[in-house]
Structure 1
Amino acid sequence: MTKVVQVAVAILQKTNGDFLLASRPQGKGWAGWWEFPGGKIEQGEAPEHALARELQEELGVTPTAVQPWITRRYDYPATHDASAKTVLLHFFFVTAWQGEVMPLEGQSLSWQSPQHVQVSPVLPANAPIMHALALPTIYAISNIAEMGKPQFMRALAHALDQGLQLIQIREKQLTRDALSALSQEILALCAPYQAKVMINTDIAHARQLGAHGVHLTSRDLMQLQQRPAHLLVSASCHNPLELAHAAALGLDFVVLSPVLATLSHPDAPPIGWETFAHWIQHYALPVYALGGMTSQHLSKALQGGARGIAMQRGAWLAD
């Protein structure tokens, strides 16, 4: 069996969301390729300790605010300058540090925006993380059934002005024709903001409308054997089995619920923050917390390892 190399990886991130990439120096495998800073976890070493050690050795900084995030496995093929190997990458957000970032190993450094990565080539194992970092922290779900269309469209326009970048259209009470007309209106409204629109459940309909992606119910997820191509694909999950299936399919992100009690499903017992954090520890995909969420819960979700929060009612509350 191939030995798995454990690696601690740092996403050094500024308050504006920009993150640091480093080029691998000459003399190392995959020289010239760009990656997140970090390095091998030694035998018996905790990933957090390896992260701090590597950042000190590579960049001369000491992390002071660290949050565990995604864990991903990647099988590197053999190249002319490196042998084949399998790595298990433990990604951490590092949002504060002591010291000035310096290239202590002769590497090039570059701060990049998640939406516009301008350096290349990026190490294959790091590429999916770029897509995950481009996901916003708020995932809004439409709520026309309760609000009515005029009020909802006003709330959506306001949210887009405030920076909303990801919305799911979920209006099961509508006929297909009515849903098509509504979706076209929402897509047109979102286009100038470059906000991404997901269609609930119907893959063919999402493609027909030219939507950015599809959001699958947990039932749809468990029946799916292959991820749909050329779409953003997310899914609702409620237990570790569904989370595992979503990861095996390589979806773009998942929503885990209900974290707290919710009006939509009053009979569903909430899993709570402790279980939420436990289930997504070392998970491979970005996760949004759903169920009773308001904007005040965002920091709690991030502390638990989430990418952000998903909201149906809370997303449309007036400031």
Structure 2
Amino acid sequence: MKKIVDVAAGVITRPDGSFLLGQRAPGTFYPGYWEFPGGKVEPGETPAAALVRELDEELGIRVHALNPWLMREHHYEHAHVRLHFFEVHDWSGEVNDHVHSALAWQWADRLKVAPMLPANGPILKALRLPRAMGITHAGEIGVAAQLAALDAALSAGLRLVQVREPLLDEDERGAFAVEVVRRAHAAGALVVINGDEALARACGADGVHLRAVQLAALEARPDLPWVGASCHSRTELERAAALELDYAVLGAVRETPTHPGQAALGWDGFGRLAAELSIPVLALGGVAPADMSAARASGAHGIAAIRGAWAA
């Protein structure tokens, strides 16, 4: 059995949304492959401290803030690697490479370099997942009001919508889903349908969002481009990760009108449950766009909201 080697990797970003990749040099394992910069965690180091040190040594940049993000394991021929990914959004200095053959700033939806190091490849899809999810509630506020709020949110940059309409009857829900998909796709946004794979396929949505009870009964991931699930415990989060879903939604961070009396996790509780998972986790429950920084500092990929997503 190979010893597990802990490695810290950084998703170093610029304000334009691009991130940095490095090409492995000749004489190393997988020469010519592209990877996220980072390196081995030394004895006595935390992964975060190791990444700060490695980025200084490899690139000459100083990290001022980083957020925990994902943890993935990969079995290479030479090692069993545990990769701790951090998002590095606050750094300074001029990038000067010391160990790679080349460096390139890239975007996840239009990658121009290849091949990616196998352990790093799945990270690219996670980077394509929008940071904010708006969850519809047309059954409460009316279809016309929800579609007006959707248009406003799409114009403001929302790029991920979950259609969740338990109060609409089947025909109303189907017609509403078709209209949401039409408007969202015109704006370049993704749409997932809550709990109904058949409706997701029928209305041309991008995927399905599974309820926790559906996740528990699931034997294999549905064959759709985007699949996520609602989770309330570490066991459910690990189940979603084992099935290689694209994301999970965890809550509630704060008490909400939807679930009055339900104990809130708080950001510390959220961070403990979501730590070191292989899939992105969105924070749900009384959150709004103003909470994005706190969410990501706690290890969330972003936020999911019902009322908070549609506020003017």
Band of TM-score, shorter chain: over 0.9
Q: 2:189 aligns with which of 174, 184, 195?
A: 195
1:121 maps to 115
Residue 228 of structure 2 corresponds to residue 239 of structure 1: no
2:210 matched residue in structure 1: 216
Asked whether the 8 Å contact 1:17–1:114 carries over to 2, the reply is no
Residues 1-319 of structure 1: pairs in structure 2 closer than 5 A: 1-76=1-76, 78=77, 83=78, 85-318=79-312
Q: Which residues of structure 1 form unaligned runs of 5+?
A: none
CA displacement at 1:87 relative to structure 2: 0.6
* Contact residue 208 and residue 224 of structure 2 kept, 8 A: no
- Give the AA of the match of 2:161: I
Q: Which amino acid aligns with 1:271?
A: L
Distance 2:247 2:310 in 1: 22
Mapped to 1, the partners of 2:8 and 2:71 lie a distance apart of: 9
Deviation at 1:203, TM superposition (A): 1.5
| 1:265 alignment partner, SS class | coil
More moved, 204-213 vs 189-198: 204-213
| Separation in 1, partners of 2:137, 2:282 | 18
Aligned partners of 2:111 and 2:88: how far apart in 1?
A: 19
- Extract unaligned runs of 5+ from structure 2: none
Secondary structure, aligned partner of 2:81: strand
How far has the Cα of 1:93 moved from its partner? 1.1
Change (3 A) 1:264 1:106: closer
Distance in 1 between residues matched to 2:206 and 2:219, nearest whole Å: 21
- Partner-residue secondary structure (3-state), 1:91: strand
What secondary structure is seen at the aligned counterpart in 2 of 1:315?
A: helix
Tell me the distance in 2 between the aligned counterparts of 1:116 and 1:29: 26
Separation (CA, whole Å) in 1 of partners of 2:192 and 2:224? 13
How far did 1:230 drift? 3.0
Structure 1, residues 217-265: CA drift from partner, whole Å, max 9, x if none?
A: 1111111111112331100001111111111111100000111000001
The TM-score, its normalising length taken from structure 2, stands at 0.97
| SS of residue in 1 equivalent to 2:109 | coil
Q: Distance in 2 between matches of 1:269 and 1:164?
A: 29
CA distance in 2, matches of 1:216, 1:75: 30
Secondary structure of the 1:6 match is: strand
CA positional deviation for 1:106: 4.3
Give distance in 2, aligned partners of 1:222 and 1:288: 19
- The DSSP-based 3-state class of the residue aligned with 2:85 is strand
- Work out whether residues 23 and 100 of structure 2, in 8 Å CA contact, stay in contact via their aligned partners in 1: no
Alpha-carbon distance between aligned partners in 2 of 1:106 and 1:228, rounded to the nearest angstrom: 39
What one-letter code is carried by the residue in structure 1 that aligns with 2:167?
Q
Residue 115 of structure 1 aligns to a residue whose secondary structure is helix
Q: Structure 2: how far apart are the matches of 1:73 and 1:170?
A: 33
Distance, in Å, in 2 between the alignment partners of 1:105 and 1:73 is 23
Identity of paired residues, percent? Answer: 44
Alpha-carbon distance, 1:34 to partner: 0.7
Residues 97-133 of structure 1 show CA distances to partners (whole Å, capped at 9, x for unaligned) of 2321012124211111132222111112111111111
1:138-160 per-position Cα deviation (integer Å, ceiling 9, x unaligned): 11100102221111111111111
Q: What is the alpha-carbon distance in structure 1 between the residues aligned to residue 224 and residue 141 of structure 2?
A: 32
Query: Partner letter of residue 192 of structure 2?
Result: M
Per-residue CA distance 1:184-208 (angstroms, 9 max, x = gap): 1111111221200000111222122
Q: How far 1:49 sits from its partner (Å)?
A: 2.2
When structure 1 is superposed on structure 2, of 269-278 and 175-184 the one drifting more is: 175-184
Task: Give the residue type in structure 2 aligned to 1:103.
Answer: D
Aligned residues: 312
